[in-house]
Amino acid sequence: MFTGLIQDIGTITAIKPLQQGIRLQIATGGSLDLAREKIGASICCSGCCLTVTEKTDTAFTVDVSAETLSKTNLADWTVGDHINLEPSLRLGDELGGHLVYGHVDGVAEVTDIQPDGESIRLVITPQAEFMRYIAPKGSITLDGISLTVNEVGQSNFGVNIIPHTMDQTTLKHRKPGDKVNIEIDMLARYVARVIGQSE
């Protein structure tokens, strides 16, 4: 389990095809202390919970299944790409974002990026089936980042990115047409299910 507060930006340094999936080697940016992470630990990689299978002081290796590749943008990653990193929560850690599970629901498209005062407004178009779970002032996870939904349209929604978040995450590299991993807030999903069962 995670919070959606990014702690480091990693770099893909190697990609090895497997029989069913791929193996990624990821170098940290220096802020993620791998000495604290054991083999078998979970690290959220741009929204996707992955298991550490090997590590050094500055890099770690994860295996990505074919199922994960089919549900995320990981199949598009190339050597040199930057990704958001967050280690899993430990008992007593501050919960500053919202509960993020690292279970990516699908990919969404960045359809517009515009300045909005001191912030940057991103318009995100997800798969149509996800729109019922998205509400103004609700939580959403994009590429592992906990964000607040500003407004909701018929087929898209907007989020405002403050300068700190833009600087400390991979959102600064995003442009219209890019695909991002999206995780629906689990509370919204369960509420929708309960309402659906009671109708």
Tokens in use for 70?
Answer: 């089919």
179 touches 109 (CB < 8 A): yes
The whole-chain average pLDDT of the chain stands at 92
Report the alpha-carbon distance of residue 175 to residue 99 in Å, rounded: 27
How confident is the model over 172-189, as a mean pLDDT? 90
CATH code of 45's domain: 2.40.30.20
Q: What is the band of 198 on the pLDDT scale with cuts at 50, 70, 90?
A: very low
Please give the Cα distance from 186 to 100 (Å, whole number): 8
pLDDT of 16 higher than 60: yes
- Answer whether residue 172 is part of any domain: yes
> Is residue 54 in some structural domain?
yes
Q: Is the pLDDT score of 176 beyond 60? A: yes
80 and 110: one domain?
A: no
Is 96 a domain residue? no
- Sign (positive or negative) of CA dihedral 103, 128, 150, 137: negative
Say yes or no: 58 and 111 in one domain.
no
Domain match, 110 and 191 both: yes
Q: For the ranges 43-57, 90-104, 132-146, which has the lowest average pLDDT?
A: 90-104
Do 187 and 118 sit in the same domain of this protein?
Answer: yes
Q: Are residues 123 and 174 in the same domain?
A: yes
Indicate whether 162 and 111 sit together in one domain. yes
Residue 1 lies in a domain: no
pLDDT at 193 over 50: yes
pLDDT surpasses 60 at 199? no
Does the residue 40 lie in any domain? yes
For 18-30, what is each residue's pLDDT tens digit? 999 999 999 999 9
Domain that holds residue 77: 8-87
- Count of the separate structural domains present in the chain: 2
Within a domain: 157: yes
Q: Which of 87, 116, 151 is the last residue of a domain?
A: 87
Q: What pTM value is reported for the model?
A: 0.92
Give which of 107, 190, 178, 177 is closest to 141, Cα–Cα.
107
Phi–psi pair at 110, nearest 5 degrees: -80, 110
Same domain for 59 and 111? no
| Mean pLDDT computed over 11-38 | 95
